[in-house]
């Protein structure tokens, strides 16, 4: 691997039912603990860049992640330290309208480990863009979360949503692995 960055996407309070979040996800607590494990390992390795992505809706009223709300805050389990970069975004893809690519290039990052939420939206969008921009991407499947979806009267449970996304990402955009496997590279 080249120089690595750990990208933590949208691990924010509105996704947590136990924090009275407005948009709770299935398995967010477990995924956050895995992300925390990766974050703690990255903090011990000065060669790994750490970047937190925080989604803030710029509409008023916001459906969730409203500006200056408790729900928009990054969850305390993975709270950034003062020296860790937080990039605010307003769309699902973390590269759109942000300085994420510029930041990664300026730090000579070639490899990304992407964790957080939601699997089918922000994780997928950011992963695809990262691969198309030439970054090598790993997505630890146990460190991301999503929710059940409904389309045209069909309910798709969160596990199936994630499996579908991981299958497409693994086909040409990323390596889908586990936290345990990623830790071996840190």
Question: Active-site positions?
Answer: 10, 89, 122
Cα–Cα distance between 81 and 93 in angstroms, integer? Answer: 24
Please count the helices (runs of H) and the strands (runs of E) in the chain: 5, 9
Torsions phi, psi for 95 (to 5 deg): -90, -20
Q: Compute CA distances 27 → 17, 106, 116, 157, whole Å.
A: 10, 34, 11, 12
Cα–Cα distance between 133 and 40 in angstroms, integer? Answer: 27
DSSP designation for 180? H
């Amino acid at each position: 691997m080249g120089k690595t960055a750990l990208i933590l996407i949208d691990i924010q309070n509105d996704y947590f039912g136990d924090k009275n979040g407005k948009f709770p996800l299935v398995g967010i607590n477990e995924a956050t603990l895995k992300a925390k494990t990766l974050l703690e390992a990255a903090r011990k390795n000065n060669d790994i860049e750490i970047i937190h992505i925080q989604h803030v809706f710029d509409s008023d009223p916001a459906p969730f992640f409203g500006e200056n709300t408790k729900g928009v805050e990054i969850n305390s389990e993975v709270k950034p330290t003062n020296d860790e970069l937080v990039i605010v975004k307003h769309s699902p893809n973390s590269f759109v309208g942000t300085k994420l690519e510029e930041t990664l290039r300026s730090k000579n990052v070639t490899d990304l480990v992407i964790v957080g939420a939601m699997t089918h939206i922000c994780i997928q969008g950011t992963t695809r863009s990262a691969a198309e921009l030439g970054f090598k991407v790993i997505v630890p499947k146990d460190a991301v979360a999503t929710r059940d979806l409904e389309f045209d009267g069909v309910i798709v449970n969160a596990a199936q949503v994630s499996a579908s996304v991981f299958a497409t990402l693994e086909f040409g955009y990323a390596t889908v692995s586990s936290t345990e496997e990623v830790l071996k590279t840190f």
